Amino acid sequence: NKTIVVTGVASGIGSDTAKLLRLRGARVIGLDRNEPSLTLDGFVQVDLGEPAAIDAAVARLPERIDGLANVAGVPGTAPVDLVARVNYLGLRQLTLALAPRMPEGAGVVNIASILGAEWPQRLDLHKALAETPGFAAGEAWLQRHPVPQASCYQYFKDALIVWTLTQSQPLFLQRGVRMNCVAPGPVFTPILGDFVQMLGAERVQADQHRMKRPAYSDEIAPVVAFLLSDAARWISGVNLPVDGGLASTYV
């Protein structure tokens, strides 16, 4: 059986991903700051925005890991430094700490967002951050290149996509481990309400008009599970939108 680590397992997309992976026979170890109500094969309570806590959690995880789904995230209504820590710096640290435990064919999936759409315009900046390894060095870099509160969620999803794309090929060539992003459109989860505050009611209403409806989290989970599976063994370094076609309507 595959051992798969899923973060953000106490709610929404992470919870549905863990459920589906277990149903398909994987051994799932969950990470979250909150205790999950679903049954798992293991759970480690951890604040994924705290580097020392991430190290402590890593020490409690199995020696062999076949998959990692980085789902935990906070909305852009949280303070900028928290968004940076949880949605980007902590995710990087956890992934790099676990990569040496992954055998050839293992997969990593990072949850981005269709709101992470502007990275090609700021590629140099995101690449510079991607090439600044380590949590503390990343934070120091961000102090020199401050990110505005209003767009911090989009900024760190952009940054996550660029980190994923630039890191995926060395990871694949050197270790045979694949890394991809899944970029959901709006999903019915507790953080959906925060998007009105982040984007303004007008943008959210316009999006709702273009969409049939937001996704249910069990419509995102199967895509994450697919990218972690052997069926996706030749897919690496992609950012896959799962948005009911919403992004295509901006063209």
| Angle between the N-to-C axes of helices 135-144 and 123-130, in degrees from 0 to 180, rounded to the nearest 10 | 150
Element (H, E) at 7: strand 3-7
Binding window for ligand NAI (CB under 6 A); candidates: 55-63, 117-125, 136-144, 182-190: 182-190
Tally of residues, the chain: 251
Cα–Cα nearest to 185, from 246, 226, 240, 239:
246
Cβ proximity of 113 and 88 under 8 Å = no
Residue 86 interacts with ligand NAI (CB under 6 A): yes or no: yes
Among 71, 147, 159, 165, binds ligand NAI (CB under 6 A): 71
88 among known catalytic residues: no
Residue 199 interacts with ligand NAI (CB under 6 A): yes or no: no
Site for ligand NAI in 100-129 (CB under 6 A): 111, 113
Take residue 178 and report the two structure tokens written for it. Answer: 């694949």
Residue 14 interacts with ligand NAI (CB under 6 A): yes or no: yes
Among 51, 73, 138, 244, binds ligand NAI (CB under 6 A): 73
Among 3, 5, 6, 11, binds ligand NAI (CB under 6 A): 11
Residue 18 interacts with ligand NAI (CB under 6 A): yes or no: no
Site for ligand NAI in 149-178 (CB under 6 A): none
Query: In 3-state terms, the chain is what percent helix, strand and coil (to 5)?
Result: 50, 15, 35
Question: In the complex with ligand NAI, which residue's Cβ is closer, 35 or 131?
Answer: 35
Cβ proximity of 111 and 181 under 8 Å = yes
**Whole-number Å distance between alpha carbons of 219 and 114:** 15
Quote the longest CA-to-CA distance of the chain: 48
Among 33, 101, 122, 210, binds ligand NAI (CB under 6 A): 33
Under DSSP, the state recorded for 119 is G
Take residue 51 and report the two structure tokens written for it. Answer: 């580097």
Nearest distance, CB of residue 122 and ligand NAI, angstroms = 19
Question: In the complex with ligand NAI, which residue's Cβ is closer, 107 or 116?
Answer: 116
Question: In the complex with ligand NAI, which residue's Cβ is closer, 21 or 173?
Answer: 21
Determine whether 190 is exposed, middle or buried from the number of CB atoms within 10 Å of its CB (0-12, 13-18, 19+). Answer: exposed
Site for ligand NAI in 41-70 (CB under 6 A): 46-49
Among 6, 28, 32, 225, binds ligand NAI (CB under 6 A): 32
Among 20, 192, 235, 238, binds ligand NAI (CB under 6 A): 192
Sign of the Cα torsion 154, 115, 232, 48 reads: positive
**Whole-number Å distance between alpha carbons of 172 and 177:** 5
Question: In the complex with ligand NAI, which residue's Cβ is closer, 18 or 177?
Answer: 18
Active site residues: 153
Per CB under 6 A, residues contacting ligand NAI are 8, 10-14, 32-34, 46-49, 71-74, 86, 111, 113, 184, 186-187, 189-192, 217
